[in-house]
Structure 1
Amino acid sequence: MFIEPAIDLTVHHKPTSFSDRFAFGFTKLLRFCADTFFAKRYGHRAIVLETVAAVPGMVGATLNHLKCLRRMKDDRGWIRTLMEEAENERMHLMTFIEIAKPTAFERFVIIAVQWVFYIGFFVLYLISPKTAHRVVGYFEEEAVISYTHYLAEIDEGRSANVPAPAIALRYWKLPATATLRDVVLVVRADEAHHRDVNHAFSNELQGVAVDAEALAPYPVHDESVCIRNHAA
C-alpha cells in the first residue's frame, strides 16, 4: 500500500540579503519563462526542468570534491548528498520521459538550456557557493508548487492518471498498482527535501546553525543519506 510522504508545502526562505534577493529574483525570472513556454503542460515542463535541476548537484559535488583535495580536508557528507541529489533529479527525468514523450523541439531546448545553465551555475558556484545553494533552494520551492499544481490537474481530471512506469516502481519501491499521481507525490517529496537541504547548506555557509531535524524526510529510495555538517 502506498503511503503519501508527509512534507510541509508552505516552507519559504524569506530573502534577507543581497545574495538571497538575487537568488530569489533569478528563480522568479526562470519561473516566468517556464510558465510562458509550458503553461499547464506539466509533464513536458518536468522533462525540460528536470534536466536543469540535475545540474546543480553535480556541479556542487565536483567543486566540493576538488576543494577537499586541495585543502586535504574531509567534506563531512556534502559530496555524497549532492551526488545523490543529481542522481535523484536524473531519475525524475527518466520517469517523465516515459510519461510525456518529449518532442524533437523539446529535446533541442533541453540541450541548449543545459549547456547555458551548466556554465552559468558553475561560474556562480565558483563566485558564491552560498548564493548557488540558495538559488537551488528557491528552485525547489517552485518545484514543490509546480508538482502541487500537477496533482490538482490529475485530481480534477485534466491530466490522465496513467499507470506509473516500471522505472518509477523500481526506483521509489512503489506498489505495482501505483499511478502517475503516486509518482508526482514522491517526486514532490524529493523536491521538498532538496529544498530544505540546499537552504540549509546556504545557511551554513553564512554561519547560521542548521537543525537537521527540521528537514523534510528523505525520500524512500535511500534513507541512509542525510544532511551533514560541512567542513569549512
Structure 2
Amino acid sequence: MNETSEYFLSADNNDPLGKHHTPSGISDRVAFRLTRMLRFLADLFFAKRYGHRAVVLETVAAVPGMVAGMVRHMRSLRRMEDDRATIRTLLEEAENERMHLMTFVEISRPSAFERLLILLAQGIFFTSFLILYVVSGRTAHRLVGYFEEEAVYSYGEYLAEVDSGRLENVAAPKIAIDYWQLPANARLRDVILVIRQDEAGHRDVNHRLANSYDV
C-alpha cells in the first residue's frame, strides 16, 4: 500500500466531508508530501491542544487566499483581462479564514510564545507561498487543497474530543454567533461544524483551481 492509500484510509470514509484528491504527477506529490510533513510537525507540537493548533494554523491558512488574490489581481491589470470572480472567491476565502482565527483567539487565548510562533510562521509562509504561486500556481492551489483536507480531518478530531467529553463544549463566542448567524445559545460544537464545512469548501475550490491549469 502506498503513502497516499494509507493516508486516505486513515480518514473516515463514511464522512461526506472526508474527500481526498489522489496525487498525480510530480507537482501533486510535492504538495502532498509537504502537507504531510507540516501535519507531522503540527501533531508533534500541539498534540490534542486543538484550540491552540487552530489559532496558529488559521493564521497561516488566511495567507494563501490573499496572496493568490493579489497575484491574480496584478495579472488581471497587467493583461487587461477580467478575473473578477476568481479574485473575489480567493479574497473571501482569506476573510473567512481570518474569522476562523478571530473565533479561536476568543476560545483559546494564545500565549505569548504562540503569538511569537505566529509571527514567524506567517512571515515564512507568506514569502514562500508568494514565490510558489508565481512559479507554479497549480502546485500552490494543490498545496492549499491538501492543507484544507488536513483541516477537515483535524476539525473532525476536534469534534470527536468535544463529543466524548474530553474537551468542554463551551459557549460559542459572540463573534462566531454573529458571523455564522448561529443561535444565541450555540456551543463550541456548533462552531467546529460550520468551520469544518468552510474548510471543505476551500478544499474543493483550490483543488478545482489546480485542475484548471491542466485544461
Q: Same fold (TM over 0.5)?
A: yes
Q: Which moved more, 1:125-134 or 1:75-84?
A: 75-84
Name 1:129's counterpart in structure 2.
137
Equivalences for 1:155-166 in 2 at 5 Å?
A: 155-166=163-174
| 1:101-137 deviation per Cα after TM superposition (whole angstroms, max 9, x unaligned) | 0000000000000000000000000000000000000
**Does the residue aligned with 1:43 lie in a helix, a strand or coil?**
helix
Tell me, yes or no, if structure 1 residue 150 matches structure 2 residue 150.
no
Kindly indicate which of the two structures has a greater share of residues assigned to helix. Answer: 2
Q: In the alignment, which of 93, 98, 102 is matched to residue 101 of structure 2? A: 93
Name 1:227's counterpart in structure 2.
none
RMSD over aligned Cα atoms: 0.8
Name 1:9's counterpart in structure 2.
17
| 1:142-174 deviation per Cα after TM superposition (whole angstroms, max 9, x unaligned) | 000000000000000111000100000000000
Tell me, yes or no, if structure 1 residue 26 matches structure 2 residue 16.
no
**Structure 1 unaligned regions, length at least 5:** 1-6, 208-232
Q: Distance in 1 between matches of 2:84 and 2:212?
A: 13
Aligned residues: 201
**Structure 2 unaligned regions, length at least 5:** 1-14
Letter in 1 for 2:51: G
Q: Distance in 2 between matches of 1:175 and 1:71?
A: 46
1:76: how far off? 4.5
TM-score where L is the length of structure 2: 0.92
Tell me, yes or no, if structure 1 residue 108 matches structure 2 residue 116.
yes
Q: Distance in 2 between matches of 1:166 and 1:9?
A: 26
Letter in 2 for 1:32: F
1:205: how far off? 1.2
Equivalences for 1:180-195 in 2 at 5 Å?
A: 180-195=188-203
Q: Distance in 1 between matches of 2:106 and 2:25?
A: 41
Aligned 8 A contact 2:69 2:91 in 1: yes
TM-score where L is the length of structure 1: 0.86
Q: In the alignment, which of 51, 67, 72 is matched to residue 64 of structure 1? A: 72
Q: Which moved more, 1:41-50 or 1:74-83?
A: 74-83
1:36: how far off? 0.2
Aligned 8 A contact 2:144 2:206 in 1: yes
Q: Distance in 2 between matches of 1:203 and 1:114?
A: 27
1:10: how far off? 2.4
Letter in 2 for 1:46: A
**Does the residue aligned with 2:18 lie in a helix, a strand or coil?**
coil
Aligned 8 A contact 2:18 2:153 in 1: no
Q: Distance in 1 between matches of 2:159 and 2:88?
A: 30
Identity %: 63
